[in-house]
Amino acid sequence: MSVRRIWASLSTLAIAAVAAIGVAGPASAADSAAAGGYVALGDSYSSGVGAGSYLSDSGDCRRSTAAYPYLWQAANSPASFDFVACSGATTSSVASSQLGVLSASTSLVSVTAGGNDVGFADVMQDCVLGSEATCLASVDAAVGQMNSTLPGSLDALYDGIRAGAPQAQVVVLGYPRFYQLSGSCIAGLSEAERAAINNASDVLNDVLAKRSADAGFTFSSVVDEFTGHELCSGDAWIHSVTVPIENSYHPKAAGQSGGYLPAFRSAV
Protein backbone atom coordinates (compact mmCIF):
# COMPACT_ATOMS: atom_id res chain seq x y z
CA MET A 1 0.00 0.00 0.00
CA SER A 2 1.37 3.43 -0.89
CA VAL A 3 2.06 6.10 1.70
CA ARG A 4 -0.64 8.23 0.09
CA ARG A 5 -3.23 5.46 0.48
CA ILE A 6 -2.18 4.82 4.10
CA TRP A 7 -2.66 8.51 4.97
CA ALA A 8 -6.03 8.55 3.18
CA SER A 9 -7.19 5.53 5.15
CA LEU A 10 -6.05 7.05 8.45
CA SER A 11 -7.80 10.33 7.60
CA THR A 12 -11.02 8.48 6.84
CA LEU A 13 -10.86 6.68 10.19
CA ALA A 14 -10.19 9.95 12.01
CA ILE A 15 -13.12 11.69 10.34
CA ALA A 16 -15.40 8.74 11.18
CA ALA A 17 -14.28 8.84 14.82
CA VAL A 18 -14.94 12.58 15.10
CA ALA A 19 -18.33 12.16 13.45
CA ALA A 20 -19.25 9.39 15.86
CA ILE A 21 -18.29 11.57 18.81
CA GLY A 22 -20.22 14.46 17.31
CA VAL A 23 -23.44 12.45 17.05
CA ALA A 24 -23.60 12.12 20.82
CA GLY A 25 -22.96 15.86 21.30
CA PRO A 26 -22.80 17.75 24.57
CA ALA A 27 -25.66 17.22 27.00
CA SER A 28 -28.12 20.11 27.13
CA ALA A 29 -29.06 21.78 30.40
CA ALA A 30 -32.48 20.13 30.20
CA ASP A 31 -30.81 16.74 29.70
CA SER A 32 -28.67 17.32 32.77
CA ALA A 33 -31.68 18.35 34.83
CA ALA A 34 -33.64 15.32 33.63
CA ALA A 35 -30.80 12.98 34.59
CA GLY A 36 -31.85 13.27 38.23
CA GLY A 37 -35.19 13.75 39.94
CA TYR A 38 -37.53 16.68 39.35
CA VAL A 39 -39.72 17.96 42.20
CA ALA A 40 -42.54 20.46 41.57
CA LEU A 41 -43.44 22.41 44.71
CA GLY A 42 -45.75 25.31 45.34
CA ASP A 43 -49.25 26.70 45.21
CA SER A 44 -52.12 26.64 42.73
CA TYR A 45 -50.09 28.35 40.01
CA SER A 46 -47.82 25.30 39.95
CA SER A 47 -50.51 22.69 40.61
CA GLY A 48 -52.48 24.01 37.64
CA VAL A 49 -55.75 25.23 39.13
CA GLY A 50 -57.76 26.70 36.28
CA ALA A 51 -56.18 24.47 33.63
CA GLY A 52 -58.52 21.47 34.09
CA SER A 53 -57.56 17.82 33.54
CA TYR A 54 -56.88 17.24 37.23
CA LEU A 55 -55.19 14.06 38.40
CA SER A 56 -57.72 11.88 40.19
CA ASP A 57 -55.46 11.29 43.19
CA SER A 58 -54.70 14.99 43.76
CA GLY A 59 -57.97 15.84 45.53
CA ASP A 60 -58.35 19.46 46.57
CA CYS A 61 -54.75 20.17 45.54
CA ARG A 62 -56.02 20.06 41.93
CA ARG A 63 -52.83 18.98 40.20
CA SER A 64 -53.34 19.21 36.46
CA THR A 65 -51.81 17.31 33.57
CA ALA A 66 -51.95 20.69 31.77
CA ALA A 67 -49.77 22.38 34.43
CA TYR A 68 -46.24 23.40 33.48
CA PRO A 69 -44.47 20.83 35.75
CA TYR A 70 -46.40 17.95 34.20
CA LEU A 71 -45.82 19.27 30.68
CA TRP A 72 -42.08 19.66 31.31
CA GLN A 73 -41.65 16.17 32.69
CA ALA A 74 -43.65 14.67 29.82
CA ALA A 75 -41.28 16.30 27.33
CA ASN A 76 -38.03 15.62 29.21
CA SER A 77 -38.57 12.30 31.07
CA PRO A 78 -36.65 13.03 34.28
CA ALA A 79 -35.37 10.05 36.26
CA SER A 80 -38.16 10.67 38.76
CA PHE A 81 -41.00 13.16 39.09
CA ASP A 82 -42.68 14.25 42.31
CA PHE A 83 -45.58 16.62 41.67
CA VAL A 84 -46.64 17.87 45.11
CA ALA A 85 -47.75 21.48 44.45
CA CYS A 86 -51.12 22.15 46.03
CA SER A 87 -53.89 24.71 45.73
CA GLY A 88 -53.93 27.14 48.64
CA ALA A 89 -50.34 26.48 49.68
CA THR A 90 -48.39 29.14 51.56
CA THR A 91 -44.65 29.30 52.14
CA SER A 92 -45.13 27.63 55.52
CA SER A 93 -47.37 24.83 54.23
CA VAL A 94 -44.98 24.13 51.36
CA ALA A 95 -42.19 23.89 53.95
CA SER A 96 -44.17 21.65 56.30
CA SER A 97 -45.94 19.33 53.87
CA GLN A 98 -44.10 19.26 50.52
CA LEU A 99 -40.36 19.16 51.19
CA GLY A 100 -40.31 15.53 52.29
CA VAL A 101 -39.92 14.35 48.69
CA LEU A 102 -36.62 16.21 48.27
CA SER A 103 -33.38 14.26 48.44
CA ALA A 104 -29.71 14.36 47.56
CA SER A 105 -30.61 12.87 44.16
CA THR A 106 -33.05 15.69 43.32
CA SER A 107 -31.50 17.63 40.45
CA LEU A 108 -34.30 20.11 39.65
CA VAL A 109 -36.91 21.90 41.76
CA SER A 110 -39.58 24.39 40.69
CA VAL A 111 -41.70 26.44 43.08
CA THR A 112 -44.31 29.19 43.17
CA ALA A 113 -45.14 30.51 46.64
CA GLY A 114 -45.92 33.84 48.25
CA GLY A 115 -49.24 34.89 46.77
CA ASN A 116 -51.31 33.17 49.44
CA ASP A 117 -49.08 34.55 52.21
CA VAL A 118 -50.23 38.07 51.38
CA GLY A 119 -53.92 37.17 51.04
CA PHE A 120 -54.18 37.17 47.26
CA ALA A 121 -57.66 35.59 47.22
CA ASP A 122 -58.99 38.01 49.85
CA VAL A 123 -57.61 41.00 47.95
CA MET A 124 -59.38 39.98 44.77
CA GLN A 125 -62.61 39.36 46.68
CA ASP A 126 -62.40 42.85 48.21
CA CYS A 127 -61.80 44.35 44.78
CA VAL A 128 -64.62 42.48 43.04
CA LEU A 129 -67.22 42.91 45.78
CA GLY A 130 -66.18 46.13 47.49
CA SER A 131 -65.75 49.77 46.61
CA GLU A 132 -62.69 51.20 44.88
CA ALA A 133 -61.48 52.56 48.21
CA THR A 134 -61.84 49.12 49.81
CA CYS A 135 -59.96 47.51 46.94
CA LEU A 136 -57.07 49.97 47.02
CA ALA A 137 -56.75 49.67 50.80
CA SER A 138 -56.68 45.88 50.54
CA VAL A 139 -54.00 46.01 47.84
CA ASP A 140 -51.92 48.42 49.93
CA ALA A 141 -52.14 46.09 52.94
CA ALA A 142 -50.93 43.18 50.81
CA VAL A 143 -48.01 45.24 49.49
CA GLY A 144 -47.12 46.08 53.07
CA GLN A 145 -46.92 42.37 53.87
CA MET A 146 -44.76 41.78 50.79
CA ASN A 147 -42.24 44.28 52.08
CA SER A 148 -42.36 43.30 55.77
CA THR A 149 -43.13 39.66 56.61
CA LEU A 150 -42.91 37.85 53.27
CA PRO A 151 -39.10 38.09 52.79
CA GLY A 152 -38.45 36.20 56.01
CA SER A 153 -41.03 33.56 55.12
CA LEU A 154 -39.43 33.05 51.72
CA ASP A 155 -35.97 32.80 53.28
CA ALA A 156 -37.19 30.05 55.61
CA LEU A 157 -38.76 28.12 52.73
CA TYR A 158 -35.72 28.48 50.49
CA ASP A 159 -33.44 27.34 53.30
CA GLY A 160 -35.59 24.23 53.67
CA ILE A 161 -35.45 23.51 49.94
CA ARG A 162 -31.67 23.82 49.87
CA ALA A 163 -31.28 21.60 52.93
CA GLY A 164 -33.51 18.93 51.37
CA ALA A 165 -31.98 19.06 47.88
CA PRO A 166 -28.40 20.30 48.29
CA GLN A 167 -27.38 19.58 44.67
CA ALA A 168 -30.52 20.73 42.87
CA GLN A 169 -31.06 23.63 40.53
CA VAL A 170 -34.00 25.52 42.01
CA VAL A 171 -36.21 27.66 39.80
CA VAL A 172 -38.56 30.14 41.48
CA LEU A 173 -41.32 31.32 39.15
CA GLY A 174 -43.21 34.56 39.55
CA TYR A 175 -46.80 35.64 38.94
CA PRO A 176 -48.30 37.41 35.91
CA ARG A 177 -49.78 40.87 35.82
CA PHE A 178 -53.52 40.36 35.69
CA TYR A 179 -54.68 43.26 33.55
CA GLN A 180 -53.90 44.96 30.29
CA LEU A 181 -54.47 48.61 31.12
CA SER A 182 -56.63 50.64 28.72
CA GLY A 183 -57.74 47.28 27.40
CA SER A 184 -60.98 45.88 26.07
CA CYS A 185 -62.88 45.57 29.39
CA ILE A 186 -65.74 48.03 29.65
CA ALA A 187 -67.12 46.80 33.00
CA GLY A 188 -65.84 45.42 36.26
CA LEU A 189 -62.94 46.97 38.14
CA SER A 190 -61.90 50.57 37.62
CA GLU A 191 -58.66 51.39 35.82
CA ALA A 192 -57.19 52.57 39.14
CA GLU A 193 -57.97 49.19 40.72
CA ARG A 194 -56.44 47.30 37.81
CA ALA A 195 -53.30 49.41 37.93
CA ALA A 196 -52.95 48.88 41.68
CA ILE A 197 -53.30 45.10 41.32
CA ASN A 198 -50.69 45.07 38.54
CA ASN A 199 -48.34 47.12 40.70
CA ALA A 200 -48.80 44.65 43.55
CA SER A 201 -47.82 41.82 41.21
CA ASP A 202 -44.67 43.74 40.28
CA VAL A 203 -43.77 44.27 43.94
CA LEU A 204 -44.33 40.59 44.70
CA ASN A 205 -42.16 39.55 41.77
CA ASP A 206 -39.41 41.94 42.90
CA VAL A 207 -39.43 40.39 46.38
CA LEU A 208 -39.34 36.86 44.94
CA ALA A 209 -36.46 37.78 42.63
CA LYS A 210 -34.37 39.30 45.44
CA ARG A 211 -34.94 36.50 47.93
CA SER A 212 -34.32 33.76 45.36
CA ALA A 213 -31.10 35.45 44.22
CA ASP A 214 -29.85 35.63 47.79
CA ALA A 215 -30.61 31.92 48.17
CA GLY A 216 -28.63 31.11 45.03
CA PHE A 217 -31.76 30.12 43.14
CA THR A 218 -32.89 31.11 39.63
CA PHE A 219 -35.88 33.46 39.38
CA SER A 220 -37.94 33.33 36.20
CA SER A 221 -40.59 35.97 35.60
CA VAL A 222 -43.67 35.13 33.56
CA VAL A 223 -44.67 38.75 32.91
CA ASP A 224 -43.22 38.89 29.40
CA GLU A 225 -44.84 35.59 28.42
CA PHE A 226 -48.28 36.79 29.59
CA THR A 227 -47.97 40.25 28.01
CA GLY A 228 -50.77 40.54 25.47
CA HIS A 229 -52.70 37.76 27.21
CA GLU A 230 -53.80 39.50 30.41
CA LEU A 231 -57.42 40.13 31.33
CA CYS A 232 -58.87 42.87 29.09
CA SER A 233 -56.46 41.93 26.29
CA GLY A 234 -59.05 40.16 24.16
CA ASP A 235 -56.99 36.95 24.33
CA ALA A 236 -56.70 36.30 28.04
CA TRP A 237 -54.73 33.32 29.36
CA ILE A 238 -56.10 34.06 32.84
CA HIS A 239 -59.61 33.37 34.09
CA SER A 240 -61.66 36.32 35.27
CA VAL A 241 -64.39 35.71 37.86
CA THR A 242 -65.78 32.36 36.80
CA VAL A 243 -67.45 29.14 37.92
CA PRO A 244 -66.06 27.13 39.59
CA ILE A 245 -64.95 30.07 41.67
CA GLU A 246 -61.51 28.59 42.48
CA ASN A 247 -60.52 29.00 38.82
CA SER A 248 -60.88 32.77 39.08
CA TYR A 249 -57.63 34.68 38.50
CA HIS A 250 -55.69 31.54 37.67
CA PRO A 251 -54.02 30.64 34.37
CA LYS A 252 -55.98 28.69 31.82
CA ALA A 253 -54.35 25.71 30.11
CA ALA A 254 -53.02 28.18 27.51
CA GLY A 255 -51.41 30.19 30.30
CA GLN A 256 -49.65 27.11 31.61
CA SER A 257 -48.38 25.94 28.22
CA GLY A 258 -47.78 29.36 26.66
CA GLY A 259 -46.76 31.30 29.76
CA TYR A 260 -45.36 29.22 32.61
CA LEU A 261 -43.82 26.37 30.59
CA PRO A 262 -41.62 28.63 28.40
CA ALA A 263 -40.57 30.68 31.43
CA PHE A 264 -39.56 27.51 33.27
CA ARG A 265 -37.92 25.93 30.23
CA SER A 266 -35.80 29.05 29.66
CA ALA A 267 -34.42 28.83 33.19
CA VAL A 268 -33.49 25.13 33.15
Give the integer Cα–Cα distance in Å for 132 and 145: 20
Give the integer Cα–Cα distance in Å for 179 and 131: 18
Give the integer Cα–Cα distance in Å for 181 and 191: 7
Give the integer Cα–Cα distance in Å for 199 and 208: 14
Which one of the listed residues 138, 220, 221, 250 is annotated catalytic? 250
- Cβ–Cβ < 8 Å for 64, 51: yes
Give the integer Cα–Cα distance in Å for 26 and 126: 53
User: 2-23 burial, b for 16+ CB within 10 Å, e for fewer?
Assistant: eeeeeeeeeeeeeeeeeeeeee
Sequence-separated (6 or more) residues with CB below 8 Å from residue 87: 43, 44, 47, 49, 60, 61, 62, 246
Which one of the listed residues 9, 28, 44, 46 is annotated catalytic? 44
Is-catalytic flag, 229? no
Is-catalytic flag, 44? yes
- Cβ–Cβ < 8 Å for 215, 155: yes
List residues with catalytic annotation.
44, 250
